[in-house]
Amino acid sequence: MRIEIENAVKTFERGERPALDGLSMTVADGELVALLGPSGSGKTTLLRAIAGLEGLESGAIRFDGEDVAGLDARDRNVGFVFQHYALFRTMTVEENVGFGLSVRPRATRPPKAEIAARARELLRLVHLEGYERRYPAQLSGGQRQRVALARALAIDPGVLLLDEPFGALDAQVRKELRRWLRELHDRTGHTTLFVTHDQEEALELADRVAVINAGKLEQIAPPAELYAHPATPFVCEFLGAVNRLDTPEGIVYVRAHEIDLTPPGTPHALAATLVAVRAAGPRVHVELELSSARRIEAELSAEAFAATGYAVGSALSARIRRKHTF
């Protein structure tokens, strides 16, 4: 299902900055899109507006070209996975997954056995066979998250919406689930939007990443393009460690790993003094002081740094391989 958002505006409190401030974007059918932004940027509000859990003040949301403004959340056929899963704790895992089918009006409700079979099939899909009779309280965080996903998939939604799907999980489980979600998407092909504030997660998982700031869309692009050609200073600053330099030609952003350490006097390079070294595993962060007393950070592999032979106090040159000027 294709989703178009046009000029979405939403203000929660009168006089406050709007949560959505004229945001427009389109998500293609079958696409996996990440909504990336700092907290309070409006990304969750956008997700809730698409689901019908939040109304818009103005603007439109269209599913396959059809305006859904008049449709209640229960009639939009969206699968929503909440940040804290919102499982029904008085129901078993199987009842949770089958809920969407069991509350259909009598005319379209499948028979009980069919609902149970469908729930078991989905639990197999999310690798939770054997957990049918458990209650949510008896599951780990990662398992609950997968039950929530199976429950959302059970209604065969036109679009799958996930709010910080990995936010409450520890790093190990996060990585695993991330890969697994990508596989699942490739298999089922649901149009999927997920909210995250973790740029690594967004870049690794999504077909396209929508960077949202202060209720507006900064840029939507495939991860590689977003990284190579940031459209705005915000996108540039939000993605990875970046140095900001004020030069006569304007504000220049330089990524830490796009700076080479070269011998003093290298042409087209900045004279600098090495003032600090922080080794973080295989990567080394080097702090440099330019002649203008401005400090910048460079990042290189531990081997490459060892090969230069520089230490704190060394005079050297910083050669900028690539810069983004705005």
Residues that bind another protein (CB under 8 A): 51-53, 72-80, 82, 84, 86-91, 99-100, 103-104, 135, 137-138, 151-152, 154-155
Per-residue 3-state assignment (H helix, E strand, C coil) for 87-156: CCCCCCHHHHHHHHHHCCCCCCCCCHHHHHHHHHHHHHHCCCCCCCCCCHHHCCHHHHHHHHHHHHHCCC
Shortest reach from residue 98's CB to another protein, in Å: 10
Give the nearer residue to another protein in terms of CB position, either 47 or 298.
47
The helix, strand and coil proportions of the chain, stated in percent and rounded to the nearest 5, come to 30, 35, 35
Question: Which tokens sit at 206?
Answer: 């999504």
Give the nearer residue to another protein in terms of CB position, either 101 or 320.
101
Shortest reach from residue 192's CB to another protein, in Å: 15
Give the nearer residue to another protein in terms of CB position, either 153 or 220.
153
Shortest reach from residue 188's CB to another protein, in Å: 17
Shortest reach from residue 273's CB to another protein, in Å: 53
Other beta carbons within 10 Å of 67: 12
Give the nearer residue to another protein in terms of CB position, either 143 or 219.
143
Q: Comparing C-alpha atoms, which of 63, 51, 45, 34 is closest to residue 219?
A: 34
Give the nearer residue to another protein in terms of CB position, either 114 or 200.
114
> Is the Cβ–Cβ distance between 216 and 21 less than 8 Å?
yes
Other beta carbons within 10 Å of 110: 14
Query: Tokens 């220049």 correspond to what residue?
Result: 252
Give the nearer residue to another protein in terms of CB position, either 80 or 166.
80
* Cα gap 153→119, rounded to integer Å: 10
At residue 271, what are phi and psi to the nearest 5 degrees? -70, 135
Shortest reach from residue 284's CB to another protein, in Å: 44
Give CA separation, 43 vs 9, 111, 234, in Å.
Answer: 12, 38, 15
Shortest reach from residue 73's CB to another protein, in Å: 4
Give the nearer residue to another protein in terms of CB position, either 159 or 209.
159
Helices (H) and strands (E) in the chain, counts: 9, 18
Sign, CA dihedral 163-165-167-168, equals: positive
Measured in whole angstroms, the distance separating CA 163 from the mean position of its chain's CA atoms is: 9
Shortest reach from residue 312's CB to another protein, in Å: 47
Shortest reach from residue 144's CB to another protein, in Å: 12
Query: Tokens 């990443």 correspond to what residue?
Result: 209
Give the nearer residue to another protein in terms of CB position, either 84 or 179.
84
